[in-house]
Amino acid sequence: MAQIVEDVSRTFNEFLLIPGLTTKECIPDQICLKTPLVKHKKGQIPEIKLNIPFVSAIMQSVSDDHMAIALARNGGLSFIFGSQSIQDQAEMVKRVKKYKAGFVVSDANLTPENTLRDVIALKQRKGFSTIGITDDGTSNGVLLGLVTSRDYRPGIDDENKKIKEFMTPSSKLITGKFGISLDEANDKIWDNKLNTLPIIDDSNHLRYFVFRKDYDGHQNNPNELLDSHKRLLVGAGINTRDYKERIPRLVESGVDVLCIDSSDGFSEWQKDTIQFVRDNYGDTVKIGAGNVVDKDGFLYLTEAGADFIKVGIGGGSICITREQKGIGRGQASALIEVAKARDDYYKEKGIYIPICSDGGIVQDYHMALALAMGADFLMMGRYFARFDESPTKKLMLGGSYVKEYWGEGSNRARNWQRYDMGGNDSLKFEEGVDSYVPYAGKLKDNLNITLGKIKSTMCSCGATSISELKRLAKITMVSSTSIIEGGAHDVILKETKTNDV
């Protein structure tokens, strides 16, 4: 007969945190939510750290370039969905990396002999309103001028007019010399009341642009997750089918970290995919793996070389893997076992493997529970699908606004690679549903409320960091009766709204 695991499969809803001593240092402004994203040796700093412990799920209805930009600007990271063409996914990665870079390589350039029609077409195609005018129309040609939206009037000016007739010539431009620091460039922008500062070399070749909006954006988003070139960080999901073609294109596009997207990661397919990365890129390309629900799955992917490991099977709100196949585990039970395996591995080997809790989050306080139980960061789909920045439509349904939300295993997504067992495609069946989630507004507004709740919980536990929360937190199981007691009861409620997920 099968091996029987005696422990009950438990969810976050069956636990509560017991308050610890709240010291005078435990105030929300002093809570640090930074957390490692990738593995590192004892005493070393991980190459990638998150400023908040959130990543968005690898889903068509959640993580495109718009979500990736919004989340990275607020300290988290998105894994752009892989159930699309390699070219389209790579283009999404490029758009995130080019969104904000401090020193920006110009991606919209023309020559003085081009026309206003070319300017309008380029703006529509690229979305940029600042166009560098160079002698050869390239990003590194000799800078001859600049065109912005203030230099012409669409629909009024003759579209056949040559750019040289209305551009701002280089003789009238304030520029910075190649080698100038970003602080110096920003000072020059402010001192001269500029929106754009072109950076040129000694031969007057255009090297970069520095934009005022980037400085303003950073002041409003101090938690921005940036690389060493001041560009936003972005991840991408991959599968175990076309990884040999997909990974090189994503790396070329500037992706910062990859993650194998699978409902069941305890497989040789994932080991082969990780090995491909190590053989071709060594440790320079970071790759996460999963999902697993126990010690054996964690150790298998750890030995395969994963940089982080996702935990959770069947706990997502749109996932029906447990219902269809009878596999999975309560998210709390899975996380507790894997976290212990992670800690034991760290003690034995001196290598810390971050784990990501994926699924099972219903209430905001479940996030704090997941972190206390050992998760380094959380992957969420439904939470982020509700916001303006997700790629789905906002609809009116039953008098309320909703957004569409569907699983990668649904017929709508048809992301069968995520559930690949190496068999015949005709055997594929749905492991996800097509649904709606209540519309919640802007990501930043909701995120601030959620992070405020987590910080408040950490203060009550006497912890000022996620690592302290794991060490100091006390967790108790709850009975069905105490769950009822924990909510509003024995009163007549007025109609209220909630910001929980």
Identify which of 166, 62, 76 has the alpha carbon closest to the alpha carbon of residue 112.
Answer: 166
Q: Note the pLDDT tens digit of each residue in 147-190.
A: 998 999 988 999 999 999 999 999 999 999 999 988 899 999 99
The amino acid sitting at 97 is K
DSSP for 74-108, please give it: TT-EEEE--SS-HHHHHHHHHHHHHH--SSB----
For residue 140, say if its preceding peptide bond is cis, omega within 30 degrees of 0.
no
Mapping DSSP to helix (H, G, I), strand (E, B) and coil, where does residue 439 land?
coil
Bridge partners, residue 404, by sequence: 436
Q: What are phi and psi of 188, to 5 degrees?
A: -65, -40
Chain centroid offset of residue 162 CA = 42
Q: Note the pLDDT tens digit of each residue in 352-387.
A: 999 999 999 999 999 999 999 999 999 999 999 999
Residue 501: pLDDT band with limits 50, 70, 90: low
Q: What is the structure's pLDDT at 424?
A: 54
Q: How many Cβ atoms from other residues are within 10 Å of residue 261's Cβ?
A: 28
Q: How many Cβ atoms from other residues are within 10 Å of residue 49's Cβ?
A: 17
Rounded Cα gap, residues 226 and 136, in angstroms: 32
| Least confident range of 9-13, 117-121, 254-258, 425-429 | 425-429
Q: Are 263 and 415 in contact (CB under 8 A)?
A: no
Look over the chain and give the mean of its residue pLDDT values, rounded to a whole number: 90
Average pLDDT in the 477-484 region?
A: 81
Q: What is the structure's pLDDT at 496?
A: 58
| Least confident range of 90-99, 269-278, 313-322 | 313-322
Q: Are 174 and 192 in contact (CB under 8 A)?
A: yes
Q: Are 312 and 334 in contact (CB under 8 A)?
A: yes
So which residues are the catalytic ones? 319, 418
Contacts of residue 34, Cβ cutoff 8 Å, sequence gap at least 6 = 49, 50, 51, 465, 466
Q: Note the pLDDT tens digit of each residue in 122-141.
A: 988 877 889 999 999 999 99
Residue 217: pLDDT band with limits 50, 70, 90: confident
Q: Note the pLDDT tens digit of each residue in 32-84.
A: 999 999 999 999 999 999 999 999 999 999 999 999 999 999 999 999 999 99
Q: Are 354 and 35 in contact (CB under 8 A)?
A: yes
Rounded Cα gap, residues 361 and 316, in angstroms: 8
Identify which of 335, 427, 443 has the alpha carbon closest to the alpha carbon of residue 387.
Answer: 443
Q: What is the structure's pLDDT at 36?
A: 98
Q: What is the structure's pLDDT at 427?
A: 46
R_g over Cα of the chain: 25
Rounded Cα gap, residues 313 and 359, in angstroms: 8
Tallying the residues shown for the chain, one arrives at 501
Rounded Cα gap, residues 397 and 149, in angstroms: 39
Rounded Cα gap, residues 416 and 421, in angstroms: 10
Strand order in the sheet with 394-397: 394-397, 400-406, 434-438
Q: Are 501 and 446 in contact (CB under 8 A)?
A: no
DSSP code of residue 173 = -
Average pLDDT in the 229-256 region?
A: 96
Count Cβ atoms within 10 A of the Cβ of residue 137 and give its class: 0-12 exposed, 13-18 middle, 19 or more buried. Answer: middle
Q: Are 114 and 164 in contact (CB under 8 A)?
A: no
Chain centroid offset of residue 428 CA = 29
Q: What are phi and psi of 375, to 5 degrees?
A: -70, 140
Q: Which helix (H) or strand (E) holds 457?
A: helix 443-460
Q: In the chain, what are the helix, strand and coil shares in percent, each to the nearest 5?
A: 35, 20, 45
Contacts of residue 272, Cβ cutoff 8 Å, sequence gap at least 6 = 240
